[in-house]
Chains A and B, each alone.
Chain A
Amino acid sequence: MTVFLILTALILLSIAVWQVTKIFELSQSKPVNTQIANHKDNDIQGKLLLAFLIFLYLLTIYSFWAYNDVLLPESASEHGKEYDRLMWITYLIIFFVQIVTQALLHYFSYRFRGNKPEKKASFLAENDRLEFWWTVIPVVVLAGIILYGLYTWTEIMTVEENEDALVVELYAQQFNWKARYAGQDGQLGEANVRFLQDFGGLNLVGIDATDPNGMDDVVVTELHLPVNREVIFKMRSQDVLHSAYMPHFRAQMNTVPGMITEFAYTPTITTSEMRQNPQIISKIEKINKLREARSKDLVASGDFPLDPYEFDFLLLCNKICGASHYNMQMKIIVETAEEFENWLDQQPTFAQTIE
């Protein structure tokens, strides 16, 4: 009975305390949560937006510091130097604009946050002079970029056939690349997909066997280029769209079934020279460290280890082309004119292939 009385007393006491607190709470003029931002929210969010600006700046600095070594090394082609210069000028401009406009956006957000009841906004609707200047300044800057860009574009894309240039056909199919050189006569023979099945499949790029120009053509699966000589690529595809992307040469062009597309550049750095490039050396070291670590895991699980990697210029497919799009590649070797001629002489001609 005493236990019951004590329990009842305790319960009643609890209820009394609860009720008193409740009355106390209700008597305080606590603002109801309207789900509309109040001065405190505005204060916190405004400060957070300023912090976000600092976060953006730090992210930019960190990215350039941490990712600098993954970027492409100096261009290995003549026009690439011009390309890189235009790229860096454009970068400087857009980074300047980015830093200034993000600063204004986030700083204004912080500075004019509605954190006090007495704050009032100014009634500023427009200012023609400001509108004029921020129209004219982009016009002038963009005019500069456009003119410079168009000048470079015309330089790069004007492909003129000439005696000194080497003409190479790039031939794309799911999922590999081939290259065709003109041989002694300097003329690529006519070709079409209709001829692909001639000679029991040995006619790899569909050369027209009735065209005498084609007989000494050389078809290979590794692209060799002589240094410091203009190369004119004639590109074909036998099935779907592909894109011949050679990032180290700042070169790319789609290959389109039914038409021949063109791109030309002059390689300026040989493969062996590029392997001595300090940026490439440190990149390859880093890659090989990662591969060693992976190899350890592979060996531990009974697989073969990975080969150490050595730098080579790349030709990648860069237009979605099917299941193995991710592995459609060809090695590019840039070498001296002499090495190139020696290599080419050793390759079988079309006539020899179909004999």
Chain B
Amino acid sequence: MSQHSHQNNHQEDHHHHHHKETFITKYIFSQDHKMISKQYLITGLFMGIIGIGMSLLFRIQLAWPEKPFWIFKVMLGKWAEDGVMDPNAYLSLITIHGTIMVFFVLTAGLSGTFSNLLIPLQIGARDMASGFLNMVSYWLFFVSSVIMISSLFVEAGPASAGWTIYPPLSALPQAIPGSGMGMTLWLLSMAVFIASSLLAALNYVVTIINLRTKGMSMSRLPLTIWAFFVTAIIGIVSFPVLLSAALLLLMDRSFGTSFFLSDIFIQGEVLHYQGGSPVLYEHLFWFLGHPEVYIVILPALGITSEVIATNSRKPIFGYRAMIASLLAIAFLSTIVWGHHMFISGMNPFLGSVFTFTTLLIAIPSAVKAFNYISTLWKGNLQFNPAMLFSIGLVSTFISGGLTGIILGDSTLDINVHDTYFVVAHFHLVMGISALYGLFAGVYHWFPKMFGRMMNKTLGYVHFWITVVSAYLIFYPMHFIGMAGLPRRYYTNTAFPYFDDLADINVFISIFALIGGLAQLIFLYNFIHSIFYGKRTVQNPWRSNTLEWTAPIKHYHGNWLGKIPHVHRWAYDYSNPQHEQDFVPQDMPLKEEEKDLHH
């Protein structure tokens, strides 16, 4: 504790002048975590529009295969001569959709936004440990977004080997046009992205360990911060492995090495590669790829913990169990990657081990779900849009998580692997859930970010259209997967056996279009509220955490006076010893509270 107080004294002594800020230092190359968080959010939303837009295009193709559409002609140009989508364009769309949604929207857009906004504000720090590194990590993310988007415009098309970019397909331009320049840019973009993530994650960890205000012990941290902390550690452990996979692939592609390639004959030619193995790539990729789904979902769960507790007017149920399950998930997440590879040709014994570790993850996940449900019990639930999205998250996290028990079981995976069952599973459990986490976060912290409120009626409309369509999209999708329909097929018409699934695909696509377009309501609400939203009060959700003690107007340094000290945990909601149903963390303990308090 002594070192904390030392740190904090130093911080508090720091007089807060207002440096002269120019437009450029304030809005562009800002080192203020609040501005950087807005930059992440807006870049993430922009990428989200592209990613979701792409999914609508290929859902149209899947529902009405090989039919001409005006929109294809407009959006795809030469990839849709006469308005009919080209098979390579389809593969590019699914590849870039996956890449953008997983990395650019749900990693940078979600974790980048809220880690940046909340870590300093909720732990009581003036800013991140290194404002400069923080700025660099945003701009690296920006550069990688620009590279990824520019790859859409290269002659032979963007990467199209699936977001997992398994070699040899991703290594050989002869195998698919997207593996030319498009793939080079993809790898480059991801390398920059990884650098950005690592810098950001290091900054988060250092900030959380060193810059907590007086009294903010680890056992008083809000669960949001715990989630960001654990997420950052997972990122630091696993992202470098993806970087090495990308570099080795780059070398196979450009310098003739054979890390992942061997015995290949393509387009009438025997290639010189000898002794490499694509299975090695799969191991390296999933060593990040699997933890990545936790990098995506844990911040969303952290946001949910905060939003559900606040809006239930109750302490989060099982605070310590929530932390323990977070740590268990983080640990297990790094030793389960092989469940993506049960039928990759990997030794079946290894498959057994990965089945064991994978199914273990269900335990901490179940604990979290039960804790959320118990938090609602005997609460006084305030259904703000953020709360609705958090409940929606718990619902899809359960629905999607349960089918994970099937996919994590090596035996059962055999017949549903790479079918639409998998697509339905991961979209519910990490895609939709994390997206709900993002929405919950935006609705909840919008007043903190922009000083104004979002319109709640539009929020309700947005929520209901989104949740109903999400279930109507992904529920039936499990069934076409169980029917044996493989994913990543440009059309299913080559197999008359699947003709009876065509109606279901139309159904799914219609709700994909409705659900996708409903996001425009959110966008309108978001942009309109930035400028014309109702001005917020200091603490609109009557929340305990420290960010609501900072002034509504943003100052670089967060608090104008001294940083508040913390005297209690973040979840004193409806504490019977207090008149109000919330007790901010900086309120000193009453005499009678002192013995029994956290």
Binding site for B on A (CB under 8 A): 33-37, 41-42, 45-46, 48-49, 52, 55-56, 59-60, 63, 67, 69-72, 83, 86-87, 90-91, 93-94, 97-98, 101-102, 104-106, 108-109, 112-114, 119-127, 130-131, 134-135, 138-139, 142, 145-146, 149-150, 152-154, 156-158, 173-174, 192-194, 196-197, 206, 238-241, 243, 245, 247-248, 250-254, 256-259, 261, 263, 283, 286-287, 290-291, 306, 309, 311-312, 314, 316-327, 329
> Is A241 touching B168 in the complex (CB atoms < 8 A)?
yes
Q: Does B53 contact A (CB under 8 A)?
A: no
Residues in B whose Cβ lies below 8 Å from that of A206: 265
Which chain A residue shows the least CB distance to B275?
A258
Which chain B residue shows the least CB distance to A286?
B500
A-B contact pairs, 25 of them (CB 8 A): A70-B504, A86-B411, A101-B369, A105-B376, A105-B394, A113-B383, A120-B380, A122-B378, A125-B317, A142-B360, A150-B356, A153-B410, A197-B270, A238-B265, A240-B168, A240-B172, A251-B415, A252-B417, A291-B496, A316-B484, A319-B418, A320-B91, A322-B169, A326-B492, A326-B494
> Is B351 touching A37 in the complex (CB atoms < 8 A)?
no
Given contacts A108-B376, A239-B266, 15 further A-B contacts (CB under 8 A): A35-B455, A102-B398, A102-B399, A121-B313, A146-B356, A154-B352, A240-B166, A240-B175, A245-B418, A253-B343, A318-B417, A319-B166, A320-B162, A322-B169, A323-B490
Which chain B residue shows the least CB distance to A37?
B384
- Given the known interface contacts A145-B409, A193-B265, A241-B168, the answer about A34 and B360 at a Cβ–Cβ threshold of 8 Å is no
Q: Which of B166, B472, B478 has the most CB of A within 10 A?
A: B166
Question: Which residue in A69, A124, A241 is a CB contact (below 8 Å) of B317?
Answer: A124
> Is B402 touching A94 in the complex (CB atoms < 8 A)?
yes
Q: How many Å lie between the Cα of A254 and that of B261 in the bound state? A: 15
Q: Does B382 contact A (CB under 8 A)?
A: yes
- Interface residues in B355-399 by Cβ distance below 8 A to A read 355-356, 359-360, 362-363, 366-367, 369-374, 376-384, 387-388, 391, 394-395, 398-399
Q: How many Å lie between the Cα of A329 and that of B277 in the bound state? A: 25
Residues in A whose Cβ lies below 8 Å from that of B367: 131, 134-135, 138
> Is B363 touching A135 in the complex (CB atoms < 8 A)?
yes
> Is A126 touching B317 in the complex (CB atoms < 8 A)?
yes
- Given the known interface contacts A114-B381, A257-B261, A314-B495, the answer about A134 and B355 at a Cβ–Cβ threshold of 8 Å is no
Which chain A residue shows the least CB distance to B321?
A131
> Is B356 touching A322 in the complex (CB atoms < 8 A)?
no
> Is A83 touching B411 in the complex (CB atoms < 8 A)?
yes
- Interface residues in B160-190 by Cβ distance below 8 A to A read 161-162, 166-169, 172, 175-176
Closest 8 interchain pairs by CB? A258-B262, A247-B484, A45-B383, A157-B348, A35-B453, A327-B494, A326-B489, A193-B265
> Is B377 touching A35 in the complex (CB atoms < 8 A)?
no
Q: How many Å lie between the Cα of A125 and that of B317 in the bound state? A: 5
Residues in B whose Cβ lies below 8 Å from that of A314: 484, 495, 497
Question: Which residue in B88, B275, B355 is a CB contact (below 8 Å) of A323?
Answer: B88
Instruction: Give how many A-B residue pairs fall within 8 Å (CB-CB).
Output: 379
CB distance from B548 to the nearest CB of A (A): 13
> Is A120 touching B574 in the complex (CB atoms < 8 A)?
yes
Q: How many Å lie between the Cα of A248 and that of B362 in the bound state? A: 29
Q: Does B141 contact A (CB under 8 A)?
A: no
- Interface residues in B523-578 by Cβ distance below 8 A to A read 533-534, 537, 540-541, 571, 573-576
Q: How many Å lie between the Cα of A90 and that of B362 in the bound state? A: 14
Question: Which residue in A36, A86, A98, A326 is a CB contact (below 8 Å) of B456?
Answer: A36
Q: How many Å lie between the Cα of A314 and that of B492 in the bound state? A: 14
Q: How many Å lie between the Cα of A124 and that of B480 in the bound state? A: 43
Q: How many Å lie between the Cα of A271 and that of B494 in the bound state? A: 20
Binding site for A on B (CB under 8 A): 87-88, 91, 161-162, 166-169, 172, 175-176, 261-266, 268, 270, 275-279, 312-315, 317-321, 343-345, 348, 351-352, 355-356, 359-360, 362-363, 366-367, 369-374, 376-384, 387-388, 391, 394-395, 398-399, 402-403, 405-406, 409-412, 414-415, 417-419, 453-456, 460, 464, 467-468, 471-472, 475-476, 478-480, 482-484, 486, 488-492, 494-497, 499-502, 504, 533-534, 537, 540-541, 571, 573-576, 581
> Is A123 touching B398 in the complex (CB atoms < 8 A)?
no
> Is A112 touching B175 in the complex (CB atoms < 8 A)?
no
Residues in B whose Cβ lies below 8 Å from that of A290: 499-500, 502
> Is B495 touching A329 in the complex (CB atoms < 8 A)?
yes
- Given the known interface contacts A258-B261, A258-B263, A314-B495, the answer about A153 and B378 at a Cβ–Cβ threshold of 8 Å is no
> Is B402 touching A97 in the complex (CB atoms < 8 A)?
yes
Residues in A whose Cβ lies below 8 Å from that of B315: 123-125
